[in-house]
A and B are shown apart, each in its own frame.
Chain A
Amino acid sequence: MTLEAHSAANDAHHAPLRARLIHGEDLAAIVLFLALAIVPLVISGYVVYILPQYMLLGLLAMSLAILWGYGGIVSFGQAAFFAIGAYSIGLVMKYASLPVNPAYIGILLGTTGAGLAALVIGYFLFSAGVRSTYFVVATLALSIIVEQTVKSFSNITGGWNGLYVDRMTVSLGSLYELSLFDDMPMYYTVLLVVFVVYVVTVAVMRSPFGKIVIGVRENEDRMLALGFNVPAYKTLLFGLSGLLAGVAGAFYATHANFAHPSNAGVLFSTQVVIWVAVGGRRSLIGAFAGAIIVASLSNYLSSIKAIQNYWPLLQGLIFIAAIILFREGLAGLVESLFQKQKHASAP
């Protein structure tokens, strides 16, 4: 089979499986979140510290998955929105003295700021019918513009030296206050946020909105002919994607205690693409898990002296394999595994 035919067969293969994929996805999601919930009770130390960061990177990957897997739009600029979220919380916590918990304001600002920016840019480009392939280049430019801007206003943002961000506190007015300085409270707060965002995102993508977006991906002209305002849907999708990335960035900054222009850069943006390619672009839980797995693997392998210098090369090769052979990523592999078991058990 030629590579082309193989991929085409792959794609056709997965269309009718959507119903099965959804159930499979829910099962996988439940298993994964349960596992994540149990981890700190079983293991202590570094893992409990680092997993929230990876979960947030998973959220960032999801922001690309809804755009790419559902909408068929690749973006090399998700990091730009991530950085907007990160710097919003950082700057608010540093400079603002408010009666309300500054972290809440920061998160709100970062999320809505990122979402709004995405909406505006999306509207600007999609309303003119900018084709998706050009759109990619524009998102590349976006990453660069945000990175440069953050670097330039260095007396406010710290520029290339970065910005220190405190660990936030969770508070209910003056009644209750929980500092997220320690690993456990931070872990479960992030897990809760990520879980809620995941559930909401899945709900949105399974709603009529999501179905229309998929329709646009499958056949844009037909959707236009059917009277749908395609640019509006693309814009909304991009806005949602920006919002998700912004949430991820805001919590990430307070977790890592640091925001940096490289959070916005092209290299980070493209790293997100790799995560989603490996994890599975059409599966939100796949993209989520993909980020966690690749980031963990990267962390582990870069500490082994023999492999250190070769890991980036290996990543590149895995990426190629993911595009050519494993188009649905790990999620697709797991799915075909279950599918085969079903066939095996059928009479």
Chain B
Amino acid sequence: MTENKKSRSITRRQALGAMAGTAAVLGTPALIRPAKAADPIKIGVLSPVTGAWTVYGQAHSRGFELAVEEINAAGGVLGRPIEMILADYQTDQRLVVEQANRLLRQEKVDLLAGTFSSADRNAAGPVVKAADKILLYPTWYEGQIKDYYPGVCNPNIFMFGPEPTQQVWPFMEYMVSNHGKKFYMIGSDYAWPRVTNLFTKEKLQELGGEVVAEVYIPFNTPQYESVLRDIREKKPDIIFHSLTGSDTVNFAQQFHAAGMSKDFTYWTVDDEEVVTSGLGPEVSAGHFVSFDYFMTISHPNNKAFLERYKAKYGPDALMNTVGVGMYNAAHMGALAIAKAGKVETAAIREGLKELTFDKAPQGPVKMRGLDNQIVVPSYLMKVRAGWTSVNDMFEEVQSVPSVEPKDARCDLPL
């Protein structure tokens, strides 16, 4: 029968192809490796291009890409261009381990940058420890505690995003005096919200406030009726919010639909441009948000930065604190290598310590040598009513040009 014949030839080809495929995969590194070492300085970037957090992946990788372009346009580092090698870990921590190793061992990159969430970074921790290579981490996070070594408190990992004492503490007094002392804390159930709440509580109690409730929600919870009821009963002044992902949107929407927006102040440490875009102007109006960077901050560095960014990616392109974290990481990494004079881990580490970067979009930043934590400005913004795009989304309420964070809870100095 003709059908059988057809399937037979496909079968043979397919089977041979499968076997050849395995051989090819195993043999690929041997085939592709060039004979002599390449000229560029290679930086491996781990980004969630696909998978659950693909929404964040774009700004994340673009921030780094733009910086690399700028560095190369200015002549590179030590006379060599920077080559960015992007690896998609599909928002899967198992693949962070896989791709980090591939970048280091197969692509032979000189250092790593990226990962997005703390879980991703913690997966990469052991890898950079074993390979003795540096990881530049861009995202706002919960701070460093020894227990989570080697994902934190790792001399090779440098944090370019703010931690709670930078993101929350500077504005506690303002919020408490202007909006009330009773906090209702709601967050996703994992380390970042818990530790953030811990620090917030500490400061709050100093100011004479109180936490009326602390609620942790498992990921992917669609219905918030019981929480909303609890909020009404406990009558807080401020809803302090650290949910992540789609839960953030679900909660905010239901909160607003229940007409509660006008009765409570809503302060979030999670809703940057990506999430607030998802909320829409109705639901997000009046929310307080605090980060080290917003697209609408008026620092002159930012204007210049956004001009270049939009020239490359379009007038509607979105940027956020994480993208800027990557941008700063790239530039500071390059500066550190230049300072060190060679591409070698210990030297770059030294180069990064106490390094300042004046051109950072949010204003000058400094990498603290004591615990590898960036010292950044901090901004408290309010979501503008009726915003139309990321370009007019936030208006400034308060800002601090530089916030020295609390010492990391590691064996210091790193």
Contact B22 A293 (CB under 8 A): yes
Which residue from A39, A43, A46, A296 sits with its C-beta under 8 Å from B101? A46
Instruction: Assess A303 versus B102: contact at CB under 8 Å? Given A164-B150, A293-B22.
Output: yes
A-B contact count (CB 8 A): 147
Q: Does A189 contact B (CB under 8 A)?
A: no
Contact A340 B12 (CB under 8 A): yes
The 17 sampled A-B contact pairs (Cβ below 8 Å) are A53-B98, A152-B189, A158-B148, A161-B119, A162-B151, A181-B130, A260-B94, A263-B94, A292-B22, A293-B18, A299-B99, A305-B86, A308-B88, A312-B50, A336-B11, A337-B12, A337-B15
Q: Interface residues of A, CB < 8 Å — how many? A: 49
Residues 58-72 of chain A, each 1 if its beta carbon lies under 8 Å from chain B, else 0: 000000000000000
Which A residues are CB-close (under 8 A) to B148? 158, 161, 164
Contact A50 B11 (CB under 8 A): no
Residues 179-200 of chain A, each 1 if its beta carbon lies under 8 Å from chain B, else 0: 0010000000000000000000
Q: Does A229 contact B (CB under 8 A)?
A: no
* Nearest B residue (CB) for A334: B15
Which residue from A39, A293, A312 sits with its C-beta under 8 Å from B90? A312
Instruction: Please measure, in the bound complex, the distance between the C-alpha atom of A152 and the C-alpha atom of B217, giving whole angstroms.
Output: 10
Apart from A160-B189, A334-B18: 7 A-B pairs, beta carbons within 8 A: A152-B189, A152-B218, A154-B190, A161-B191, A289-B22, A302-B90, A305-B86
Q: Find residues 173-220 in chain B having any chain A CB closer than 8 Å to their own CB.
A: 189-191, 194, 218-219
Residues 1-42 of chain B, each 1 if its beta carbon lies under 8 Å from chain A, else 0: 001000010011011101101100111111000000000000
Instruction: Please measure, in the bound complex, the distance between the C-alpha atom of A312 and the C-alpha atom of B51, giving whole angstroms.
Output: 9
Which residue from B26, B88, B95, B151 sits with its C-beta under 8 Å from A164? B151
Contact A258 B123 (CB under 8 A): yes
Instruction: Please measure, in the bound complex, the distance between the C-alpha atom of A333 and the C-alpha atom of B17, giving whole angstroms.
Output: 11
Majority secondary structure, A binding face: helix
Contact B102 A46 (CB under 8 A): yes
Contact B88 A50 (CB under 8 A): no
Instruction: Please measure, in the bound complex, the distance between the C-alpha atom of A243 and the C-alpha atom of B29, giving whole angstroms.
Output: 35
Q: Does B325 contact A (CB under 8 A)?
A: no
* Nearest B residue (CB) for A300: B25
**Which positions in B face A, CB cutoff 8 Å?**
3, 8, 11-12, 14-16, 18-19, 21-22, 25-30, 49-50, 86-88, 90, 92-95, 97-99, 101-102, 105-106, 118-119, 122-123, 125-127, 130, 148-151, 189-191, 194, 218-219
Q: Does A27 contact B (CB under 8 A)?
A: no
Q: Does A268 contact B (CB under 8 A)?
A: yes
* Nearest B residue (CB) for A159: B190
Instruction: Assess A47 versus B29: contact at CB under 8 Å? Given A162-B93, A337-B15.
Output: yes
Q: Find residues 192-248 in chain A having any chain B CB closer than 8 Å to their own CB.
A: none
Contact A303 B97 (CB under 8 A): no
Instruction: Please measure, in the bound complex, the distance between the C-alpha atom of A299 and the C-alpha atom of B97, giving whole angstroms.
Output: 11
